[in-house]
A and B are shown apart, each in its own frame.
Chain A
């Protein structure tokens, strides 16, 4: 669990950045909006910490908050909408908290990607609202966020029909956000990309302390031959020499990303086609070489 801390430190700044930019760029917000964001951010951080009792409390508080928000919405008061806006702003942090937890890699990657997508949407919405002359409330922030996503969907439909509809999410670019997202990616991969078996058991890694053949001192006499044989048995060994296993695959992934970026700069229209072809070829190759049925038992 020691790896949780660096993972947290690397992954959470991007979510904090989203909150700070949104709250800071809106001309006027009520305190409930920001307060709820802070509370939910703390809950997200707590839920990511490796202390089980805190998870329990965090879950209880989260559940209580949800009940309050839903109740407030039901009563259709402005207070409830403000709470909802605060929760929405903190939702990338909650997703990031889940993404940093050990466990199912696929869901974690997906949670991470959704958090970043939400972040792009919220920052775009905040930019759009910055130009507003009237004081902005949490309700307006939610409305802008939803309308921005509707515009994006409409834009995608237009793209398929070759019309020039706006795509607000595509046009968003914030270098600080990109850098923080890259750092967060490193944080997420930090806990995932370590030598391990398909069942999550750690494999011997260079630099890690690997248990050597422990000296056998059992409470019985093994005899000199057996004791000597036990001492000469093999111990876990990491891969020494050459490329560390898996680094070539990581380089392959990065190389593909570089190709996409290069294509985007050369001809933005080429990017999607290149990606589509790459995915189809990659998946087809994998299907050909891998057995698809899930393993049912560890040993045959």
Chain B
């Protein structure tokens, strides 16, 4: 699509000044002023027409681009890079302003995504810059905007070269990477763990005396003595279904940038996903902000890992507020078998209908676990005594809400973990033990 030349405010001004001078020339009829007005007006008009003619047909088709040195996944606070090579295939040179659009969440650390230069036909220009994500999320780099400037700033043309590139800014705990090779790599990191085999268990439990019905392959020959044989007893591990229910309402945005309640929830959820998939558990995800923002049905495999990775990376607080009954009813109607439902949420209050929905969920065999952020604790502590007192006063209503929710959920018999700005990583040990117990059928 061709771009129309735009008359800049400076162009309007110059044209107005020239015509005003001519008007004074017509008033005085003095040759000096007439000549002056003619020079000003003629110059501006000639400049505009010259620019319009030489840049005729200016548009995205005039440019060939290639992105290189580009990062696809960057940890928040680390450096990513972007290189952009553009070739001008138009017929005339122009003063160019090249700008690679990027969100404010990607801080430029070195180089520049902007360049002002003379761009001759056939010439190549390169933008290279390093950026640092300041928050988690999926960000779009591009399109690249090329502005052709009239040399004196009277007019310009703009065109956008559509060359988007997505950068995922992730937290320190990486969500399991997409693709089978990455998935296999994660297994190697774990030290070559064999995935649990269906049927006979693989987890060593104890030794016992040999019985005639035992398989001879289970005999522990090194431990056995003449006249007494021992067999190894294994535990059978049953893959579990795990569903992560994450509140993406506005209350989860509490906390400092990069360590909000939602960031901590995503970080912990990433860890759960990582280890669950390594143990062949099936995992699902529901992002809920008063309505379903994203639902990934339970499953396993590289496609699911990619979907979870994308969902967790792009989870962002929305305008809604988490209400338990809606989310539980949604899950109850979508889950096909009993699942561990790990809830990261900051409900404003816990109502009776939430409890009712909870009970309905547990009746279906699901086992919810609650990770509730202590919202005032998500912020760094204030230093001064006065500030601390004020903060205590301000936090009081929120503490009351938290106590109401925690009390109500505990009354239902559900495990509750309250976490602060350090996140709920410590509670994960207890949670993993509970799920492990189910895996072994206890």
Task: Give A residues with C-beta under 8 Å from B.
Answer: 104-110, 112-114, 116-117, 120, 152, 156, 159, 167, 169-170, 172-173, 177-178, 181, 185, 192-201, 203-204, 216, 218, 220, 222, 225-226, 229-230, 232-240, 244-246, 248-257, 259-261, 264, 271-272, 275, 278-279, 282-283, 285-286, 289-295, 299-300
A156 surroundings in chain B (CB, below 8 A): 27, 29
Contact A108 B17 (CB under 8 A): yes
Contact A169 B28 (CB under 8 A): yes
Contact B41 A291 (CB under 8 A): no
Question: What is the CA–CA distance of A91 and B111 in the complex, to the nearest angstrom?
Answer: 50
Max chain A Cβ within 10 angstroms of own Cβ: one of B83, B115, B117: B117
Contact A250 B43 (CB under 8 A): yes
Task: Give B residues with C-beta under 8 Å from A.
Answer: 4-22, 24-50, 52, 68-69, 79, 81, 83, 93-95, 97, 99, 101, 109-112, 115-118, 120, 124-130, 145, 147, 149-156, 158, 160
Contact B109 A218 (CB under 8 A): yes
B28 surroundings in chain A (CB, below 8 A): 117, 120, 152, 169-170
Quick one: which of A107, A204, A216, A229 contacts B17, CB cutoff 8 A? A107
Contact B130 A294 (CB under 8 A): no
The distance from the CB of A211 to the nearest CB of chain B, in whole angstroms, is 10
Q: Which chain A residue lies CB-closest to B68?
A: A229
The distance from the CB of B271 to the nearest CB of chain A, in whole angstroms, is 27
Question: What is the CA–CA distance of A197 and B333 in the complex, to the nearest angstrom?
Answer: 60
Question: What is the CA–CA distance of A214 and B27 in the complex, to the nearest angstrom?
Answer: 54
B30 surroundings in chain A (CB, below 8 A): 117, 120, 169-170, 172
Q: Which chain B residue lies CB-closest to A118?
A: B24
Contact A222 B110 (CB under 8 A): yes
Question: What is the CA–CA distance of A239 and B30 in the complex, to the nearest angstrom?
Answer: 39
Question: What is the CA–CA distance of A300 and B157 in the complex, to the nearest angstrom?
Answer: 11
Quick one: which of A107, A159, A233, A255 contacts B128, CB cutoff 8 A? A233
* Contact A257 to B15, CB < 8 A, known contacts A197-B156, A275-B34: no
Quick one: which of A107, A196, A204, A291 contacts B153, CB cutoff 8 A? A196
Contact A245 B95 (CB under 8 A): yes
Contact B79 A229 (CB under 8 A): no
Q: Count contacts between A and B, CB distance < 8 Å.
A: 279
Quick one: which of B95, B99, B158 contacts A195, CB cutoff 8 A? B95
Question: What is the CA–CA distance of A4 and B259 in the complex, to the nearest angstrom?
Answer: 51
Contact B126 A234 (CB under 8 A): yes
Contact B42 A252 (CB under 8 A): yes
* Contact A169 to B69, CB < 8 A, known contacts A232-B126, A285-B45: no
Contact A245 B21 (CB under 8 A): no
Contact A105 B117 (CB under 8 A): no
B20 surroundings in chain A (CB, below 8 A): 106, 109-110, 113
The distance from the CB of B206 to the nearest CB of chain A, in whole angstroms, is 51
A192 surroundings in chain B (CB, below 8 A): 152
B38 surroundings in chain A (CB, below 8 A): 253, 256-257, 259-260, 275, 278
Contact B14 A286 (CB under 8 A): no
Q: Can you name 7 A-B pairs with beta carbons within 8 Å? A: A106-B17, A108-B17, A113-B24, A226-B81, A239-B118, A245-B95, A256-B39
B8 surroundings in chain A (CB, below 8 A): 198-199, 295
Question: What is the CA–CA distance of A237 and B83 in the complex, to the nearest angstrom?
Answer: 19
Contact A113 B79 (CB under 8 A): no
The distance from the CB of A183 to the nearest CB of chain B, in whole angstroms, is 13
Question: What is the CA–CA distance of A213 and B101 in the complex, to the nearest angstrom?
Answer: 21
Contact B151 A204 (CB under 8 A): no
Contact A230 B128 (CB under 8 A): yes
Contact B5 A107 (CB under 8 A): no
Question: What is the CA–CA distance of A204 and B38 in the complex, to the nearest angstrom?
Answer: 29
Contact B93 A239 (CB under 8 A): yes
A271 surroundings in chain B (CB, below 8 A): 31, 34
A285 surroundings in chain B (CB, below 8 A): 45, 49
Contact A246 B151 (CB under 8 A): yes
Q: Which chain A residue lies CB-closest to B97?
A: A197
Q: Which 4 A-B pairs have the closest CB atoms?
A: A106-B13, A253-B43, A109-B17, A252-B46
B14 surroundings in chain A (CB, below 8 A): 105-106, 109
Q: A105-B14, A193-B152, A203-B118 given; name 16 further pairs at CB < 8 Å.
A: A106-B16, A107-B13, A114-B24, A172-B30, A173-B31, A199-B8, A233-B127, A234-B117, A234-B127, A249-B46, A249-B152, A253-B41, A257-B35, A257-B39, A272-B26, A293-B6
Max chain A Cβ within 10 angstroms of own Cβ: one of B13, B19, B38, B94: B38
Question: What is the CA–CA distance of A248 and B54 in the complex, to the nearest angstrom?
Answer: 12
The distance from the CB of B357 to the nearest CB of chain A, in whole angstroms, is 47
The distance from the CB of A172 to the nearest CB of chain B, in whole angstroms, is 6
Question: What is the CA–CA distance of A291 and B150 in the complex, to the nearest angstrom?
Answer: 14
Contact B42 A257 (CB under 8 A): yes
A234 surroundings in chain B (CB, below 8 A): 115, 117, 124-127
Contact B16 A110 (CB under 8 A): yes
A185 surroundings in chain B (CB, below 8 A): 36, 39
Contact B128 A290 (CB under 8 A): no
Contact A110 B21 (CB under 8 A): yes
Contact B158 A300 (CB under 8 A): yes
Contact B39 A233 (CB under 8 A): no
Contact B5 A290 (CB under 8 A): yes
* Contact A291 to B22, CB < 8 A, known contacts A198-B149, A252-B42: no
Q: Which chain B residue lies CB-closest to A112?
A: B21
Q: Which chain B residue lies CB-closest to A259?
A: B38
The distance from the CB of B159 to the nearest CB of chain A, in whole angstroms, is 9
The distance from the CB of B207 to the nearest CB of chain A, in whole angstroms, is 53
The distance from the CB of A236 to the nearest CB of chain B, in whole angstroms, is 5
The distance from the CB of A297 to the nearest CB of chain B, in whole angstroms, is 10
Q: Which chain B residue lies CB-closest to A290?
A: B7
* Contact A120 to B156, CB < 8 A, known contacts A226-B69, A236-B116, A291-B5: no
The distance from the CB of B83 to the nearest CB of chain A, in whole angstroms, is 5
Question: What is the CA–CA distance of A204 and B40 in the complex, to the nearest angstrom?
Answer: 24
Contact A283 B45 (CB under 8 A): yes
Quick one: which of B42, B94, B130, B150 contacts A282, CB cutoff 8 A? B42
Q: Which chain A residue lies CB-closest to B29?
A: A170
Quick one: which of B9, B83, B151 contacts A203, CB cutoff 8 A? B151
Contact A203 B95 (CB under 8 A): yes
Question: What is the CA–CA distance of A252 and B42 in the complex, to the nearest angstrom?
Answer: 7
A294 surroundings in chain B (CB, below 8 A): 7, 9, 12
Max chain B Cβ within 10 angstroms of own Cβ: one of A235, A278, A300: A300
Question: What is the CA–CA distance of A275 and B34 in the complex, to the nearest angstrom?
Answer: 9
The distance from the CB of A184 to the nearest CB of chain B, in whole angstroms, is 10
* Contact A104 to B99, CB < 8 A, known contacts A249-B46, A260-B38, A289-B5: no
